[in-house]
Structure 1
């Protein structure tokens, strides 16, 4: 009988995360420019080394920026609840599906901008110009090279290949509550249909996958040899390498002879009810162009702007073929992905 082993959740690392209760009470606004409300209000689900980029924007433009942090779903619900009274000008997320949902529910408005059109490839922005991808993250396979021969991975469909019995008792993965897991499964539904995606997830469970609450735990388990293979976001590995350059972990670019490695985006959109749309547009354009390197560099994400090179650590991972990004599939299939995970008992 298959079983799911789950490692407990440690203390949250992102101390700047604002709880929903604080959001509702009006607390938790984090301002770079001081205690007075900033010129631009950002609702952000991205809270890794974000402030440095915005400090640079303030220094260049003289405009000040305030933040409210939460997860994608929390902040979208707040936007909807506040309606025309929201103080938000820019909505920043860490998931393409969340951006699509915000636009689909009418919370974002089109931004017609030659700067954005020139800076960002068409596949990473909304066809109606309501949202824009600003940083790319790849969710791929990491492994312990002492215990795994990379030649054993399925190069056509690496994610499905982890259902092979050779990986039984050797897998660890992220929990079902994370957008990273849900968007990956939504993409699998889009590629293989619900039944095919269910077979893949069930196959992971049949291999006694160990569920962990964050990617750092996954990488630490690989390094220690208590787990042989995991699915992680590349930038977590990059951050760990900075701390531990001798980590016994390597990346394998998934499905390079098939659909490519699953990717997602950090991105943003202009809030419909913004009372400072011109200033918010200026910030959005800056993040896509002049501020692109600062925005992605602190978190080791891949730049979406093709003229900006990835940082040295990420460049060392080599080039890879990304899976085509379908934000609509990630957004519209999110509920089905969540239901599928619950149905098979993936925690």
Structure 2
């Protein structure tokens, strides 16, 4: 800036308004603290009206993107205050999700391990045979499928039977296994208000080389996001029914596979996640297949560790298949997992 000063000319450097940098730094710092609070204290977010808490929890890992954006803003603005403040959300996010970024452990040939594939194949899948062949190529021991409808069901049965001679189908969910099944039966998880004939659950006992394992396959009701927020009451009720069934399960080892229409951070699935182990490694966002934003296809376990979960290549479904490695734990004194 140039201005006249008496008989001469004074040149003054053009600069920022006093305190401007500090104010901008405080804005970045304030947003950073807010992001850390959302990630670390998400259970404190009220779920009414509109189940906003569950909605936030469905996309919680994406808070990491907000942290990256704030980092860029702080660099551009050269805000030391903002950069220091960002250490808080980074630490909180890494504590919550950092472990999922680590590579899965190398396969242990001596481990009591099962490879499990879970896939909502879509009732509008134009290529059920191709989808079934892709699932076989994953080399799984157990395969759980949802949205099975005729005539596509016959295609899945025809392709899978050579590698998976043991299977059970109830309603629109099915289960295929390399190992013999016992006690395969319908599992009633139909919430109130849904018409009769809705059947999306089954339970079977798998005679694995390591002992009996109770396998559950479930497709919980869909949730919808609208002007009133997240509509998840039927899903939450079905999750409570499924949780009650798992709680009463007498077989020590349990593997639950299914399209649960919720992430493991969503409090609506707490009846399940409070008593079942979730994956230790891998994000495996599975839905929607065209641009995956969340993993709503889950593999959970009791008396077992879900070591790693990953997505498989896209099929004709609007979901991506997920594959998980599950290591069974011996139950002391029960003999259920005796080799």
Please state which band the TM-score falls in when normalised by the shorter chain. Answer: under 0.3
TM-score, normalised to structure 2, is 0.24
Larger % of helix: which? 1
Higher relative contact order (CA 8 A, sep 6+): 1
Larger % of strand: which? 2
TM-score, normalised to structure 1, is 0.23
Larger radius of gyration: 2
